[in-house]
Amino acid sequence: MSIYIFFLVVLFLLAISDLMVGVANDAVNFLNSAIGSKVATRRVIMIVASIGIITGALFANGMMEVARKGLFLPQYFLFTEIILIFMAVMFTDILLLDFFNTFGLPTSTTVSLVFGLLGAGVGMAFLKVGEGGTIVVDGVEKIAQIGDFINSSKALVIISSILLSVVFSFIFGIVIQWISRLIFTFNIEKTIKYYGSIWGGIGISAITFFMLIKGVKDASFMTPEIYASIKENTFLIIGLSFVFWAFLLQLLNWIFSVNPLKVVVLAGTFALAMAFAGNDLVNFIGVPLAGYEAFKLFSANGGNDLLMSGLLGDIITPSYFLIGAGVIMLIVLWFSRKAQTVIETSLNLSRQEEGDERFGSSAFSRVLVRKVVNTGTFFSHVIPQSVIEKVGKRFDTTDLEERTKKDPNPPMFDMVRASVNMMVASILIAIGTSYKLPLSTTYVTFMVAMSTSLVDGAWGRDSAVYRITGVFTVIGGWFITGFAAFSVAFLLSIFMGWAQLFGVISLVAFVIFSFYRTNITHKRRENNQLETAEEVEETRSVASLFEKCNTGIRKTLNTVNDLYSNTINLLIKENHKELKKQLKISTQLEEKLNNKRNKLYQTIPSLPVSESIEATHYYILTLDYLKELAHCTTFLVEPVYNHVDNNHKPLIGSQAEELTQLTNAFDKFMKLVLSSLEDNNQEKLNRINEEQAVILLMIKESRKNLIKTIKRNEVGTKTSMLLLGILNETRNILIYTVNMMRIQNDFTVTVKEEK
């Protein structure tokens, strides 16, 4: 008995961990529209979402049976087997969600749960069948098959509903957003006065119907009498709700100039947070609660093993479990840093303006965009031009672009799109909840956000291929989630079925280690992004641009100097492990400078026009040279690492000595360059040129000596090619550095003239 009490404690600890990683993943679902449109301060948005979560937690009871009997048939499993199934599911869910959160990719907690339950159920059934297990069907004992343990019909319904939710979300998002934009256009200041209150009344009434009427059926506090009364007066409630909200929104607009769409977005945030808690709470605590119910049946049987037929009945989840889970959700929602990373991915793919893209281009996205462009050209010749022009005026973004230019920190999209995102997503999820179909909240909200951004033209010719690649990357991650959840849960259930207590303890240790490693990885990524954000921060004067440029040069040259010295020394020592670290640092430096170069659009517009032309010219040239320096450094470090990694012959003594002398001279040169940045002038530039000439002469002599050793057959081909590459990249680094310092000298003159 004591071992199963331990298992139950572990199961509830896993539930708390799952709530933490699950909310970090799903916060994007109900926060992205409100945050992206900047409908209110972050604090207000979080408070509204928090109220929605607590309310929705009370509505979650009807979904709990999915975990107990939705995917497998508990009457054919013993308690000692089913508790391990539940633990395998929780371990799998936590590991998968934490991995996706670390890299900022929104995935589905619902898919993770569904396929995890399937995989664990199949794994345990595999063990039972392998041991010659039998089951009793209609009073007759028969040899069990794996399929006999799985609720295949329910599993197919659930999986189908998840897949269909993706299609319906995209289609409904396109249709509703197109109608909405046709009504409001992008100049919402004018159209909001005529249609805002009516639209708001429709939106909030729809949310009221699906969230407060359809959703209360299985609430833990709802009685059949109250629900029957509500159901009888459905149309009356809807009608009164529309009249009330339309009148109230119009009144607020007349008296306090309140934008009705703001109310809709905040109401949608509440509704979607409520739907999230009502629909997805099963993903986090449904499995542990099912384990708790199984343990109560086991205890009532005196600690003797028994089949879990008792899980087939209706079970009301105590409200304190639901409220407790809601409180944990709130804590994670307010303080999770990984949640912010996931939110950024969704917002970047749906933002209205172009700019730096997180994802690259793929062959599929290029072909798709080309086909769409060709199709659009075809229809432009078929549809009457007058119709095209009339519709085109409703989708004209000129007013939006003008407002964006005036705002130093504009929203990623306007409140028309935000309100549609909220309304469509919350309605679809609420329908799924009312029919006890665990739709993927992530799939629905993500696909709605992508469809509405598509309608708004956010995926322009300059960004479409990257956004499409990003969308399919996220969708691809969803399929990986399903496959991985099934596979991992399958293997874990078999492992724990074989290892029992040892297996559970080892998996707990592995989860703790995994959390530790992913937190370190996420913190490192976060620090890199923060550093990059600080470096591309807007500058308001030539002087600040110069200082920013100077700081960037110092950091880069220090890194290049350290990489160069360390790489040569480690090559001589043949230290493979440390060389791998140098290669990683070099690659990160090159990536950071490429990103910095690509974000020029954020710096140039912020400078005064009268000052910016000459200064920006020097700044661009400096970034180009810094990027080339990083490129040369990678081209130097990578061959050195590969040489040692492939166990090629080491350097001979004379070569090691020459490279050591070259390294010392290089270090002296770089320190001179760094000191000259404090007060750049022609005299110091001349000294730099002199030091460069000395090192170039050393490189020339080293190359001649290498040729002599080659002729005498004293070194192999691999070593010869490596040394030639090192000498060549050293020469390139020196040339780019001196050229950059000349530009910096001219930049200094420009700054002094501006003062």
pLDDT in tens, 253-276: 888 888 888 888 888 888 778 777
Q: What DSSP designation does 536 have?
A: T
Q: Is the dihedral of CA 328, 329, 335, 341 positive or negative?
A: positive
Amino acid identity for residue 161 in this structure: S
**Percent share of the chain, pLDDT over 70:** 73
Q: What pLDDT score does 665 carry? A: 92
pLDDT at 640: 92
pLDDT, average across residues 278-294? 76
- 3-class secondary structure per residue, 224-238: HHHHHHHHHCHHHHH
Kindly report, residue by residue over 651-662, the tens digit of the pLDDT.
888 888 889 999
Average pLDDT over every residue of 180-185: 86
Average pLDDT over residues 182-193: 82
pLDDT for res 566: 93
DSSP letters, 102-120, are HTT----HHHHHHHHHHHH
Q: Which of 44-48, 119-123, 591-595, 689-693 has the lowest mean pLDDT?
A: 591-595
Q: Is 164 helix (H, G, I), strand (E, B) or coil?
A: helix
Q: What angle do CA 570, 575, 580 make, to 5 degrees?
A: 90
SS3 648: coil
**Residue % of the chain over a pLDDT of 90:** 9
Lookup result for tokens 């949608």: 268
Return d(Cα 270, Cα 260) in angstroms, integer.
16
**CA-CA distance, 219 to 322, in Å (whole number)?**
11
The amino acid at 686: N
Q: Delineate the domains of the chain, giving CATH numbers in brackets.
A: 2-529 (no CATH), 539-754 (1.20.58.220)
Question: Do residues 703 and 724 make contact, with C-beta atoms less than 8 angstroms apart?
Answer: yes
Residue 682 has pLDDT above 80, yes or no: no
Residues facing 137 on adjacent strands: 140
Q: Could you give the CA distance from residue 702 to residue 692 in angstroms, rounded to a whole number?
A: 15
For residue 354, how far is the Cα from the chain centroid? 19
Structure tokens at 103: 């890299």
* Poorest-pLDDT segment among 308-312, 552-556, 662-666, 721-725: 308-312
* Residue 536 confidence class, pLDDT cut points 50, 70, 90: very low
Query: Predicted confidence band at 540 (pLDDT cuts at 50, 70, 90)?
Result: low
Q: Distance (Å, rounded) from C-alpha 39 to C-alpha 55?
A: 22
Give the distance from CA 82 to its chain's centroid: 33
Dist. CA 539–CA 725, nearest whole Å: 39
Could you tell me the CA-to-CA distances from 420 to 83, 140, 166, 427, 525 in Å, in that order? Answer: 43, 55, 16, 11, 33
Euclidean distance between CA atoms 728 and 323, whole angstroms: 67
pLDDT at 755 over 60: no
Mean pLDDT within 537-559: 74
Does residue 257 sit in helix, strand or coil? coil
- Tokens 């530009």 belong to which residue? 743
Neighbouring residues of 189: CB distance < 8 A, sequence distance ≥ 6 = none
Distance of CA 258 to the CA centre of its chain: 33
Give per-residue pLDDT as tens, 356-406. 555 566 676 666 667 666 666 655 667 777 777 777 777 777 776 666 666
Would you state the pLDDT for residue 637? Answer: 92
> Distance (Å, rounded) from C-alpha 556 to C-alpha 740?
12
Q: Which of 235, 262, 242, 240 is nearest to 198 (CA)?
A: 242
Tell me, rounded to whole angstroms, the distance of Cα 543 from its chain centroid.
Answer: 37
Is residue 143 within a helix (H) or strand (E), and if so which, with residue range? strand 140-143
Total Cβ atoms within 10 A of residue 223: 9
Q: How far apart are CA 506 and CA 502, in angstroms?
A: 6
Q: 415-434 and 2-37 helices cross at what angle (nearest 10)? A: 150
Q: Looking at residue 212, what DSSP letter applies?
A: I
Tokens of 612: 């910016």
Res 21 pLDDT > 80: no
Residues 6 or more apart in contact with residue 253 via CB below 8 angstroms: 192, 193, 196, 197, 259, 260
Between CA 68 and CA 364 the distance in angstroms is 41
The confidence score (pLDDT) of residue 689 equals 87
What is the residue-averaged pLDDT of the chain?
Answer: 78
Question: What is the pairing mode between strands 140-143 and 134-137?
Answer: antiparallel
Q: Which two tokens stand for residue 100?
A: 């996706």
Instruction: Give the Cα separation of 122 and 94 in Å (integer).
Output: 20
Give the separation between CA 87 and CA 92, rounded to whole angstroms: 8
Distances from the Cα of 55 to the Cαs of 20, 59, 289, 328, in angstroms? Answer: 19, 7, 20, 14
Q: Which residue has the tokens 């029919």?
A: 435
pLDDT at 444 over 60: yes
Cα separation, 366 vs 179, whole angstroms? 28
Residue 608 tokens read as 């005064």
Tell me the torsion sign for CA atoms 340, 343, 345, 349: negative
